[in-house]
Amino acid sequence: MHLVAGFPPTNRDDWRALALEVLRKTGVEAGSPEEALSSITYDGVRLAPLYDAADLPKTLRKGAPGARAGWDVRQRHAVADPEAVLADLEHGVTSLWLVLGAGAIPVGRLADLLREVLLDLAPIVLEAGPEVREAAETLFGLAAERGVSPTGNLGASIGTAGRDTTAELAARCAQGFPGMRAVLLDATPYHDAGGSDADELGCSIALGVEHLRALTGAGLSVEQAFGQLEFRYAVTDDQFAAIAKLRAARTLWARVAEVCGAADGGQRQHAVTSSAMMTARDPWVNLLRTTIACFAAGVGGADAVTVQPFDACLGAPDAFARRMARNTQALLLEEAGAGRVADPAAGSWYVERRTADLADRAWAWFQEIEAAGGITAASGLVAERIAETRQRRADDIAHRRFPITGVSEFPHLDEKPVRRSPGDGAALAGESPGGSALAGESAEDGGAVADESPGDEGVPAGEGLPRIRYAREFEALRDLADAQPERPVVFLATFGPVAAHTARAAFAANLFQAGGLATQTAGPGTDPDQIATAFAVSGSDVACLCSSDKMYGLHAEAVAAALRRAGAKKIWLAGKGSYEGVDDRLYAGCDALAVLRTTFDDLEVTR
């Protein structure tokens, strides 16, 4: 049976010819379709429109995950709520991530929180910062009382617990608790500060090497030191980027293990859905974001996955949000079977190429950190590099090249904001205990470009970096618009047939509504006086002409003059062309945040 019988053979040159023909018909002139259709990531990795076997890396990738039967479903808790903990464990959660300390779960309440938890079945992962020793003693004491050996991770690191405490706990786990690791290396602060995938990976490997040196220097063997480390990475709704990042991380760590002579250099990975990608506006879309991210984590080979509740950036998640978070994983594991195959992306020309390219760039960054003296000594260098990436991403967000559904794209002004109690603990992973992800945000300084101070030399890795959410600047403008006695309005001066103005009116409405501004349209027609009358009735001071290029040539200047006589302070035009009376243009790729802030000023919105 010949499945391809009857089809002529094709090759890349055939595809190029067909693609160039289509590009020419759409008005795009390019030397090659690869040139026209490729994109570049923040790490400089080129993403091509087509891959084939020639794109596979020349060398075999190391660090592939072993056989698996799913992954560890790890739920995060920062509030001392025993009922919530038990509800999670009874409905699909397989391990607990407990945030301890001031503003979160008091260390003194840890024993009470775990009173009914079966420690021999449910791994416990602690995040206790400088109180890790006290938390570890409590956990060990509970296990001894019950005659079981605990599993999980104590969550120690040099930056939070100190070198001596971290080494001491690692030695204790290596010698007496085979199912417990002592050290968790959290790379999410680099992601949450706006870093790229290579930024996060290179820093994580440098962090791992720093801990290997500390543990072996304290007397642990190389194998024992490797066995005490677990890495935490952020995964986003950019599915293939997340898959490649986890695969590249294992490749990088396998290189380190090879150099160190470790027999088993497998990297234990904990993937957490990104805090930076979460939105406070239209938060239900976060359910979709975290589902994609969770799938990518599973396909990428993560050993443990945490899905953050969809309302996590609004305060302490409620029971429904926690249920949706754990059921997201249950559905992917049980119904979709996403955990039944080890490294299902292996062999994909695209994924293998992207993994290899990302690993190369992350390794070069790691070497740069090492040349600067290691991750702690290079904290200023790290902060400077991440600030550069953060600024590039912020520019893409402002120009809507980095779309955020429900916020910068397709906002819903009639949406009633979701309210949550701040609770007693940090809502989003990586957040300081007791803080809200929305605290201190404003239209002026809250957003993708946060505090960009490079930090001081010698600051523990990851500390001193800002925390961002991609949607924050648009959401701050929405909050400002909502706070006005009446929602500010922008008048869309549509003219000509409906078919002539619909596309540009929809574009303009989408842009202005992304800042919380309502829009009113003039409807069809070309009479400047009628359009000006509708503008006056709207009560707005700002208008935007919306029609086709042909209609602009016939009527734009007359309509603009009528709007100006009716009191318009600012007149925009959606599309191309320069016309008398028009102040500025809106177009795909314009700085939407700048447009919105200017419009707020023109409308004299109280800040």
pLDDT tens for each residue of 133-170? 999 999 999 999 999 999 999 999 999 999 999 999 99
Average pLDDT on 326-334 reads: 97
Question: Within 13 Å, how many C-alpha atoms sit on residue 500's CB side?
Answer: 20
Using the predicted structure, report yes or no on whether residue 216 has a pLDDT greater than 80.
Answer: yes
**Which residue in the block uniquely carries the two structure tokens 């993994």?**
355
Query: Which CATH class, in words, describes the domain spanning 72-382?
Result: alpha beta
24-48 pLDDT, tens digit per residue, is: 888 888 888 898 999 999 999 999 9
Report strand pairing: 39-40 vs 46-47.
antiparallel
pLDDT band of residue 247 (cuts 50, 70, 90) is very high
CA distance 450 to 432: 16
Q: Strand, coil or helix: what is 573?
A: strand
Is CATH 1.10.10.10 what the domain over 484-602 is classified as, yes or no?
no
Using the predicted structure, report yes or no on whether residue 454 has a pLDDT greater than 70.
Answer: no
Report strand pairing: 72-77 vs 304-306.
parallel
CA distance 280 to 192: 16
Please calculate the CA angle 238-341-303 and round it to the nearest 5 degrees.
65
81-128 pLDDT, tens digit per residue, is: 999 999 999 999 999 999 999 889 999 999 999 999 999 999 999 999
CA distance 490 to 13: 50
DSSP characters for 548-572? Answer: -HHHHHHHHHHHHHHHHHTT-SEEE
Cβ neighbours of residue 515 closer than 8 Å, sequence gap 6 or more: 474, 477, 478, 481, 592, 596, 599, 600
Segments making up each domain of the chain, as ranges: 72-382, 484-602
- Best-predicted range by mean pLDDT (8-12, 140-144, 345-349): 140-144
Q: Six-digit token pair at 439?
A: 């605290």
